[in-house]
Amino acid sequence: MTNLFHWQLPHPVIASSSPLTAHLRAIHHLFAIGAAAVVTKTISMQPDMRTGGCIRYGELLFNRDGYSRRTLSEWEADLETLRGQKVIANIAADTPEDVANLARRVVSKGAEIVELGLSCPSVEGGPICISPDKLGPFCRAARKAVDVPLIVKLILQTSTAGNRAMISCLKNEGINGVSISDTLPGLLLDVHGNMMLGGSGGISGSPLKPLVLKSIYDIADMNVVILGMGGISSGQDVVDYLRVGASVVQVCSFLMRNGVQAMENLVQEYRSLASKNISCEAAQPKLCALQGASYSDANPI
C-alpha cells in the first residue's frame, strides 16, 4: 500500500494531467487499467479554445496543449460522478480570487485533493508562476478557500537554492505537497526555420528524468509530500523516483506515446520489482539512504 495524504493507494503510479485525463470516459478507463489515481486535465474558469497540439521529437514530446477545452460546469458534473474515486482536480486561473473560487467549486463536487497547475509553460505569456513571490498569493487564496490537501505543480529549477526557496515559500503558505515537474519550456524549429506548433511550448518525456530526480533530491528533506514526474516509462523509473524522495509518481508522455494500456505493464513492472524486496522507499529523513555508485558500474564512455 502507498499513502498519499488520507488516501491509501494500491501502488504509487498515478495518471498525470494531460489530454488522457480530459474526459470522464478516459478517466474511468485509466482506473479500469490500474491507475492508482488520476489527475484531471487542468480545469479553468473558461474553456481554453486556443489551438494547441503535441508532437514527437526524438525522445521528447513537445506540446502547446494549454488547459481543458471543457467548461467548468461540465467538469463539475464529471467530478460529481467521480465522487469517492481517487481523482485529483488540477486547476488554474489568472488571479488568486479565481483560483480560490475554482478550488471551492471542485471541492464542493467531491475533489478530495487539489493540484494547482500554475506552471503550465504552454499558455500564452509563459508560466503564470515561476517565482515564490508570484506564487505566494495564489497559494494563500487557495489555502483559505478549502481545507483539503493542496498540491502545487512546479517546473523544476536548476539550482538547489531555487528549488529549496520555492518549497519554503509553499510551506509558509500552507501547501501540503508538490508535483514536480511540469513540462519544461522549450522551442523547436522545423527545417525552414519556422517555430513548430507556432511558438514555445512544453517539453516532456524521458530526457526530463535526471533533471527531475536531481530537483527532488534537492528538496527531499524538507518535509513536504512529493509527487514525482518526468519521463517515467518503466518500473525501474518508478523505483528511482521513490528512492530519491517521491511518495508517488505521475505518468504522461509514456502513455501518450504507447497508448494508455501501457499503464498495466508499468504497474506490473513496478510490482515485480517491489516484490523482490527492492527497497523502493526513500528512508525518512532520506538523503542519507543514497550512496554514490562506483564509476565502473556506470558504463563509462
Residues that bind ligand FMN (CB under 6 A): 16-19, 41-42, 54, 61, 63, 65, 67, 90, 117, 120, 153, 182-183, 202, 204-205, 208, 229-232, 251-254, 256
Nearer to ligand FMN, 29 or 289 (CB): 29
Taking the complex as a whole, the smallest distance from the CB of residue 181 to ligand FMN amounts, in Å, to: 6
Give SS3 for 88.
strand
Whether residue 10 has a cis bond before it, omega within 30° of 0:
no
Taking the complex as a whole, the smallest distance from the CB of residue 206 to ligand FMN amounts, in Å, to: 7
Distance of CA 271 to the CA centre of its chain: 21
Nearer to ligand FMN, 12 or 230 (CB): 230
Taking the complex as a whole, the smallest distance from the CB of residue 267 to ligand FMN amounts, in Å, to: 15
Nearer to ligand FMN, 193 or 256 (CB): 256
Terminal-to-terminal C-alpha distance of the chain: 40
Q: Which three cell numbers stand for residue 177?
A: 505537497
Residue of 233, 237, 263 lying closest to 60 (CA atoms): 233
> Which residue has cell 533533471?
211
Nearer to ligand FMN, 120 or 220 (CB): 120
Taking the complex as a whole, the smallest distance from the CB of residue 25 to ligand FMN amounts, in Å, to: 17
Tell me the C-alpha distance between 120 and 92, whole Å: 9
Taking the complex as a whole, the smallest distance from the CB of residue 291 to ligand FMN amounts, in Å, to: 27
Rg of the chain on CA atoms, in Å:
18
Tell me the C-alpha distance between 52 and 111, whole Å: 27
Nearer to ligand FMN, 90 or 215 (CB): 90
Whether residue 181 has a cis bond before it, omega within 30° of 0:
yes
Taking the complex as a whole, the smallest distance from the CB of residue 204 to ligand FMN amounts, in Å, to: 3
Distance of CA 112 to the CA centre of its chain: 16
135, HSE (Cβ side, Cα atoms, 13 Å) = 27
- Which amino acid, 20? L
Nearer to ligand FMN, 207 or 221 (CB): 207
Nearer to ligand FMN, 204 or 247 (CB): 204
Nearer to ligand FMN, 232 or 246 (CB): 232
Taking the complex as a whole, the smallest distance from the CB of residue 59 to ligand FMN amounts, in Å, to: 10
Taking the complex as a whole, the smallest distance from the CB of residue 217 to ligand FMN amounts, in Å, to: 17
Give SS3 for 271.
helix
Q: For the chain, give the number of residues.
A: 301
Cβ–Cβ < 8 Å for 138, 99 = yes
